């Protein structure tokens, strides 16, 4: 089920909301949110609910173990077992065929028989909820959080429908206080903010991202036919599509969290306003980049050792961050590209930072757009074709809908580069902007009716 779908808007959300606020006790609200999370998830594939329940149960038991045991050996066991299981599930479902395909590609040089690809279905959201449970277990091990004894509370945290399938990757400590006070939450105090976030997210996704996608998807299906201008237009379109799609989803998730008294963390902070690549990663998919920083980069040694080790750590972290996005070498290359950029920036920061802010911002933006070529491409051939089209003058066929795309890129660019982001707004609308938002909401709904809800880009990860 999608947030931008009629069954969600007319069925799931009103029922979940109405029942939730009828319930009074903490545990009943936890249980209701956990159950609705599983119902929400089962609309994709109910069979995978068992997988999520297993991951939840293992991490919950590990949490109880941390509460019970103080000796180092047992605590380490409580850390290692759930993380190993989570990563094994993730590896099996997401990376088995990638590994087999890669080995097969190298088969001419290997004297090994390579098994055929397995018929594996990737469970939606597995990359997100396994990370939820990993952060919980690691934080409990580190003593950052006190694990919960309430299974429903933990199940509610893992399977909360608002953030279940595409994040943000919420850490237990970030919503622990709201979960504790869930029975005392004030419905009316969150209502305006919740609906404001939700409506803005819906408009970003449906009116901006989906309209851009309608033009660029057919054009990017034949990259060799694009002219240089067409290739740049399409990649600029994709740059904004990805941002408005994912940040729109995140806004909706945050808004939905508010409707149930839960404050989910910010996931995007105007990333295209970044003045360098490190700044970009402090603003883009914040919940992932901070996860990578706290649970990978820092344990690797971070920047506490000599520069070469720091560069290596940056590179490895981003490489794995790329691989997290998808089981494909183009994602690995995208991660490596950003790892190199971060290392290069770290080495050349004094020089870079001497440039005027507008120039740094423009340069960062172009570097990010080039990275998105790898991210969008289905293989290196497509990436090479697109880059060749962008950087060597080419003629080509006109992009159908180029005028609409140009307007949408201009609008999206203005919003992304000049306007405050959703977290910077006060969400106290005077009548006129409120009416404008109401109009945009209706327009979004009519678009959902007319074209059907399209999945969010980050669902595939």
Partner 1 sequence: MESALGRGRRRLRVGYVLPRLVLLVFAVDLALRALPVTWLTYRPDEALRARPARGGGFAANRSLHYPRGYGDLAALANLPHRREYRPLRFTTDDLGFRNGSARGPVGAVLFGDSFAYGSGLDDGDTLSVQLGAALGCGVYNAAGAGARHASEILAVTRRIGLRRGLVIMERVERELRTVPDAPAVVAGALMGYDAPLRVRLASVGRRASSVLARAAGRLQREAELATALSPVRILTTRLHKALENEQVLPNSYAHNAVMGTLRNGDWMLFYPDELEADEDDSAPATAYWTSLARELRAHGLELIVLLVPDKHTVYHELLRTPLAPATRPGQRMDRLEHALRAEGVAVVNLRSAFAAAVPALFARGEYLYWRDDTHWNPRGVHLAAAEIARAARAEAGRPLRPLPPCGSSTAGGRR
- 3-class state of residue 120 by DSSP: coil
- CB 284 within 8 Å of CB 364: no
Beta-bridge partners for 397: 226
Torsion angle, CA of 79/82/88/89, rounded to 10 degrees? Answer: -150
Nearest approach in angstroms of CB 57 to partner 1 is 16
Nearer to partner 1 by Cβ, of 123 and 125: the residue is: 123
Report how far residue 388's alpha carbon sits from residue 269's, in angstroms, rounded to the nearest whole number: 32
Query: Please, what is the minimum distance in Å from the beta carbon of residue 448 to partner 1?
Result: 9
Respond yes or no: is residue 325 known to be catalytic.
Answer: yes
Task: Report the Cα 382 to chain-centroid distance in Å.
Answer: 24
Of 301 and 433, the one with the shorter C-beta distance to partner 1 is 433
Q: Judged by CB, which is closer to partner 1: 16, or 310?
A: 16
Helix 187-203 / helix 431-451 crossing angle, nearest 10 deg = 60
> Counting every residue, how long is the chain?
461
Return phi, psi of residue 226, to 5°: -80, 145
Residue 162, sorted as left (phi over 0), alpha (psi -120 to 50) or beta, turns out to be alpha
* Interface residues toward partner 1, by CB under 8 A: 6-7, 9-10, 14, 45, 47-48, 50-51, 118-121, 123, 188, 191-196, 198-199, 211, 214-215, 218-219, 400-401, 403-404, 427, 429, 431, 434, 437-438, 441-442, 445-447, 449-451
Rank residues 111 and 431 by Cβ distance to partner 1 and give the closer one.
431
Do the Cβ atoms of 1 and 12 come closer than 8 Å?
yes
Q: How many helices (H) and strands (E) does the chain have?
A: 21, 0
State in angstroms the smallest separation of the CB of 259 from partner 1: 9
Closest distance between partner 1 and the C-beta of residue 403, in Å?
A: 8
CA nearest to 237, candidates 359, 404, 377, 363: 404
Q: How far apart are the first and last CA of the chain?
A: 16
Catalytic residue, from 325, 338, 394, 427: name it: 325
Minimum separation from the CB atom of position 215 to partner 1 (A)? 6
Nearer to partner 1 by Cβ, of 310 and 444: the residue is 444
Report the residue number, 36 or 289, with the smaller CB distance to partner 1.
Answer: 36
Nearer to partner 1, 43 or 232 (CB): 43
* Minimum CB–partner distance for residue 413 and partner 1 (Å): 20
Phi first, then psi, for residue 377 (nearest 5°) are -75, 145
Find the shortest distance in angstroms from Cβ 61 to partner 1.
Answer: 21
User: What is the DSSP track for 412-425?
Assistant: HHHHHHHS--GGGS
Structure tokens at 216: 């660029």
- The string of DSSP codes covering 310-338 is HHHHHHHHHHHHHHHH-SSHHHHHHHHHH
Q: Which residues are identified as catalytic? A: 325
């Amino acid at each position: 089920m999608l947030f931008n779908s009629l069954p969600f808007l007319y069925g799931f959300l009103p029922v979940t909301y109405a029942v939730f606020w009828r319930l009074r006790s903490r545990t009943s609200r936890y249980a209701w949110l956990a159950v609705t999370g599983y119902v929400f998830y089962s609309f994709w594939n109910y069979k995978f609910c068992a997988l999520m329940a297993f991951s939840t149960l293992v991490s919950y038991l590990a949490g109880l173990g941390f509460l019970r045991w103080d000796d180092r050996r047992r605590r380490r066991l409580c850390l290692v077992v759930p993380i190993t299981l989570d990563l094994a599930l993730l590896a099996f479902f997401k990376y088995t065929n990638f590994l087999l395909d890669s080995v097969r590609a190298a088969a001419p040089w290997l004297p090994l028989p390579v098994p055929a690809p397995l018929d594996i279905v990737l469970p939606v959201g597995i990359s997100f909820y396994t990370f939820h449970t990993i952060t919980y277990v690691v934080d409990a091990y580190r003593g950052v959080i006190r694990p919960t004894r309430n299974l429903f509370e933990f199940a509610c945290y893992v399977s909360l429908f608002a953030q279940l399938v595409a994040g943000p990757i919420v850490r237990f400590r970030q919503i622990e206080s709201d979960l504790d006070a869930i029975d005392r939450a004030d419905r009316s105090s969150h209502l305006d903010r919740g609906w404001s976030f939700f409506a803005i997210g819906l408009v970003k996704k449906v009116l901006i991202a989906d309209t851009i996608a309608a033009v660029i998807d057919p054009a990017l299906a034949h990259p060799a036919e694009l002219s240089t201008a067409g290739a740049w237009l399409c990649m600029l379109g994709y740059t904004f599509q990805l941002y408005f799609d994912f940040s729109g989803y995140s806004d909706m998730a945050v808004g939905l969290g508010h409707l149930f008294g839960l404050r989910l963390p910010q996931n995007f902070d105007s990333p295209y306003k970044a003045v360098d690549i490190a700044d970009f990663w402090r603003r883009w998919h914040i919940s992932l980049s901070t996860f990578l920083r706290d649970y990978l980069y820092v344990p690797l040694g971070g920047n506490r050792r000599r520069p070469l080790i720091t560069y290596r750590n940056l590179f490895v972290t981003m490489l794995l961050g790329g691989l997290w996005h998808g089981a494909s070498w183009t994602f690995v290359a995208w991660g490596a590209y950003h790892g190199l950029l971060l290392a290069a920036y770290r080495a050349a920061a004094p020089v870079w930072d001497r440039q005027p802010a507008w120039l740094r911002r423009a340069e960062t933006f172009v570097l990010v757009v080039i990275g998105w070529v790898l991210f969008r491409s289905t293989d290196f051939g497509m990436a090479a074709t697109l880059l060749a089209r962008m950087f060597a003058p080419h003629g080509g066929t006109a992009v159908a809908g180029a005028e609409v795309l140009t307007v949408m890129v201009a609008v999206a660019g203005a919003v992304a580069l000049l306007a405050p982001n959703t977290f910077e707004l006060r969400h106290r609308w005077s009548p006129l902007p409120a009416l404008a938002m109401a109009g945009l909401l209706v327009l979004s709904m009519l678009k959902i009716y007319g074209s059907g809800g399209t999945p969010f880009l980050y669902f595939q990860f």
